[in-house]
Structure 1
């Protein structure tokens, strides 16, 4: 939010954004690719090492395959370290994140990433426009 926008609006947006993250990662824990991408725009993009998904369907297909294979039983961890709301309708979130594979209790340091989320306010709620991550170490 800009200096002219009230702090309570920033606080409300932050609460809504944290709720969005909870929704996304509850769907991950359920291995539900459709629910996982429900809060993504149709033209959302995902960029990660060796990966570029160009739209919501590519993201959904990739997650569905992952949930049936190597990500089955996994859990994502994602803790926002910075949430900046710009103009009341765009948010940039930087987070520390990673994937706990089935049976793991702690995230190995070599799988920690720094993620950047671009969120937009659409139809009264925050949705994912873009996600990117890079190794933290």
Structure 2
């Protein structure tokens, strides 16, 4: 039996945001389960392919040159499931600081299969 540590969760989040920094929608979406869901204000996506397609278009449009931020505030692991609550946001090209009005509180539901963690569900809402 593998013991899960917060470092494993941090590693998954690091790989997600490294893929974002590279604007690599394929690498980002590969870290999601095939049936993953993403819920954000006004947005619902279901499935890894949908997440990939959404990000690929966004990286060519409104998210071009952006960088994702995520700072876990609470990590709870129950067997092969983890829940991560974080402060998150997007820095657009040229920005050095996240404007308060774009700060989000995010909830990640992660699952472990075949020894690797992946994102089963993601949701965020305005922090303020």
TM-score normalised by length of structure 2 = 0.96
Measure how far apart 1:76 and its partner are. Answer: 0.4
1:73 counterpart SS class: coil
Kindly name which structure, 1 or 2, has the bigger radius of gyration based on alpha carbons. 1
Question: Structure 2: which 5+ residue stretches go unaligned?
Answer: none
Per the alignment, residue 33 of structure 1 pairs with 25
Query: What are the residue-to-residue correspondences of 1:1-137 with 2, within 5 Å?
Result: 9=3, 12-86=4-78, 88-137=79-128
- Paired residues in the alignment total 126
Measure how far apart 1:118 and its partner are. Answer: 0.3
Structure 1 stretches of 4+ moved >3 Å: none
Question: Structure 1: which 5+ residue stretches go unaligned?
Answer: 1-8
1:47 counterpart SS class: strand
Measure how far apart 1:106 and its partner are. Answer: 0.1
Deviations 1:88-117 (A, max 9, x none): 200000000000000000000000000000
TM-score normalised by length of structure 1 = 0.90
Measure how far apart 1:54 and its partner are. Answer: 1.0
Distance in structure 2 (CA, Å) of the matches to 1:38 and 1:98? 21
